[in-house]
Structure 1
Amino acid sequence: MAKSLVTGGAGFIGAHVVDSLLQLGHEVVVLDDLSGGFIENVNKKALFIEGSICDDNLINDLFEKHNFDYVYHLAAYAAEGLSHFIRKFNYNNNLMGSINLINASVKHKIKCFVFTSSIAVYGTQVVPMIETATPMPEDPYGVAKYAIELDLKSAHEMFGLDYIVFRPHNVYGSLQNIGDRYRNVIGIFMNQLMKGNPLTVFGDGSQTRAFSYIDDVAPYIAKSVNIPEAYNEVFNIGGDTDYSVKELAETVMKVMGIEGEVRNLEARNEVIHAYADHSKARKVFGITPDTITDLETGLTNMAEWVKMNGVRKTPKFENIEILENLPKVWLED
């Protein structure tokens, strides 16, 4: 039986990857510090350990104690927009914590290191973004993700550590933390509607994204280690059809059955159009257009889960390092 470590396994995507791995017959150990995830997300069949990837002593002890075959690294503080204002935290948590895992994986001869990067590595590119494009990240979150991709490539060339990199984008679905005020626009919208608050949209809502339902992402990440053609490759993965944020707001109101209003905020510094080409993933993983969940269906599924679980509080991030140019809405109670 394969034994896998999943970091961030109490988080949204991580918890779904854990479920998929268990279905595939893996023995799973979850490491999560619960800073963004929830213990109730963790499948009871997995062994849960509360702790941080930044704790290199804990990481070394884990690898000594458990004879891991695979590492699935999903732990990250993934608030891309906020990363400009928490630069030190971003690099310590997202980059240096990842290096602890890579070092341990090299020392313990891990068979494959699966890493969830992000479409954020591309920055502003011709859309749809394709893996052969040279990444040009525009925020510290994307910079950290791309640095890890480069380090994995270096570790493979120097030490033979096999890896697989996924660049998912705008993933949504059940188990998502809808109480995070800095990320996950769909969860933010649904939470705002249930509170009776306006939907907050930066700028005029013309920004475009291809929103990705969790079932079109997590199972492929989980089974990737069983596909030799995936090794030492990078894959975009997620939804194909792009929508404006304005269109998204209208569809979220429709599936929630709540006619809210939109509050347009001052535009922030962000990539305006970001969606990806998935030809490579289709070829390697056998994904077809018929298997991709359409936006309204995916949102309807998520809305059912959200209504069942109710409103979440939206706590502020402690210790923001730079306040200059911070969107005012992030400071509101």
Structure 2
Amino acid sequence: MNITSLVTGGAGFIGSHVAKELIKLGHNVIVLDDLSGGNKDNVPTEANLYVGSICNEKLINSLFKKYLFTYVYHLAAYAAEGLSHFIRRFNYNNNLIGSINLINASVNYNVKCFVFTSSIAVYGENELPLKEEQYPQPEDPYGIAKYAVEQDLKNAKQLFGLDSIIFRPHNVYGPHQNIGDKYRNVVGIFMNQLLQNKALTIFGDGEQSRAFTYIDDVAPYIANAVNIKEAYNQTFNIGDDTVYTVKQLAEEVSECFNSQTNIQYLEKRDEVEHAYSCHKKFEQVFQPQPYISLKNGLEKMADWVKEHGARTSNSFENIEIEKNLPPSWRN
């Protein structure tokens, strides 16, 4: 069977790894990415890259008409939870309206399954560990947009029969991550700061707790999900179980660079204090391999980062609301 899959955000971090795994599975892969956070070098050579936005409805429809995609893997997003409060229109245009363009086209062109990477941001402050059956209470516009797309996919199944699989990953790190974005991806931010001999910046006291997941514990399962019928029309938390504070993470990352842990504490920002999830449902359906430890995963990413060097962290140019914006994000 000739399988053609669309990977949105396929020049980005998780998307490029999913594209690589799909090629291993024999898919013909088309990547759509606007390169706002991704890089052409991340795209597997076997994939066909189109540079453009999921907000471009005309482009979306032309690609679906040309390729008649079997599957859609939607990973394109601007995943800056904290910043999303201050770029609300940008957030909803990119993370919600762009997603709806893809869902519409998937219905119209009879896509067999729509695989969507949501986020544990949909849970907000909730009983820990976070579980799929809990009622989502997103606390930032990013999480609100992700949950809205989840709800729209359920509606598209009910009305049009569009099958989907939803993943809620969290704090994924590894090679190909954009370490030059000061608003998101704390592991990448720390490594970029260490390469420049700068202090590691932490909002608040560093006691916020998270679980961190190496990319190889996520991408292969997202790619292969369409081959697991029990996964269809289900939602899965995906990621590691081991919980660390942000301060502990800073110490672990510093160790990978043989550096003393030098932390600069910044003003506390509005964020969920503790967020980590239960993965029993995922493990029952996907039967994953043992997770890569944080130490081993950080070493793998550090090797890649040292090879590619530091990156300049640019400021977001179109802040929509200045009120209550953290001072460190103002320049």
Q: Shorter-chain TM-score category? A: over 0.9
1:257 deviation in Å? 1.3
Q: Distance in 2 between matches of 1:173 and 1:274?
A: 20
**Structure 2 CA distance, aligned partners of 1:257 and 1:303?**
11
Following superposition, the deviation at residue 67 of structure 1 comes to 1.6
Deviation string 1:146-204 (CA, Å, 9 cap, x unpaired) is 00000000000000000000000000000000000100000000000111111000111
**Counterpart position of 1:110:** 111
Query: Counterpart of 1:85 in 2: which secondary structure?
Result: coil
Aligned-partner SS, 2:321? coil
How far does residue 259 in structure 1 lie from its aligned partner after superposition? 1.8
Letter paired with 1:66: Y
Is the 1:193–1:260 contact (alpha carbons within 8 Å) kept by the matching residues of 2? no
Report the equivalent of 2:169: 168
Partner of 1:152: 153
Q: How many residue pairs were aligned?
A: 330
Aligned to 1:93: 94
Shift of the alpha carbon at 1:260? 4.1
Q: Which amino acid counterpart does residue 307 of structure 1 have in structure 2?
A: K
3-state SS in 1 of match to 2:265: strand
Residue aligning to 1:211: 212
Residue 48 of structure 2 corresponds to which residue in structure 1? 47
- 1:310 maps to 309
Structure 2 counterparts to residues 64-79 of structure 1, below 5 A: 64-79=65-80
Looking at structure 2, the residues matched to 287 and 196 of structure 1 have their Cα atoms a distance apart, in angstroms, of 38
Q: CA deviation at 1:208?
A: 0.2
- Where structure 2 has 5 or more consecutive residues not aligned to the other structure, the ranges are none
Indicate if the aligned counterparts of 1:8 and 1:30 stay in contact, CA closer than 8 A.
Answer: yes
* Structure 1 CA distance for aligned equivalents of residues 223 and 93 of structure 2: 26
Matched, 1:294 2:293: yes
Question: Letter of the aligned partner of 1:316 in structure 2?
Answer: S
Corresponding residue for residue 33 of structure 1: 34
**Structure 1 CA distance for aligned equivalents of residues 232 and 165 of structure 2:** 5
Q: What residue in structure 1 maps to residue 323 of structure 2? A: 324
Provide the residue aligned with 2:257 in structure 1: 256
8 Å contact 1:83–1:140 — kept in the other structure?
yes
Which 5+ residue runs of structure 1 have no aligned equivalent? none
Cα distance in 2 for partners of 1:75, 1:312 equals 21
Distance in 1 (CA, whole Å) between partners of 2:329 and 2:256 is 26
The reply on whether 1:21 has 2:1 as its aligned counterpart is no
Corresponding residue number in structure 1 for 2:244? 243
Identity in percent: 63
Q: Let me know the Cα RMSD of the aligned residues.
A: 0.6
Shift >2 Å, 4+ stretches: none
Displacement after TM superposition at 1:287 (Å): 1.8
Q: Report the Cα distance in structure 2 between the residues aligned to 1:72 and 1:29, rounded to whole angstroms.
A: 10
Alpha-carbon contact 1:9-1:17 (below 8 Å) kept: yes
Aligned-partner Cα distance in 2 for 1:127–1:170: 16
Partner amino acid for 1:258? Answer: S
CA shift for structure 1 position 328: 1.1
TM-superposition CA deviations, 1:124-161 (whole Å, max 9, x none): 01111000000000000000000000000000000000
CA-to-aligned-CA distance 1:291-318 (integer Å, 9 cap, x gap): 2011000001000000000000001111
What displacement does 1:19 show? 0.4
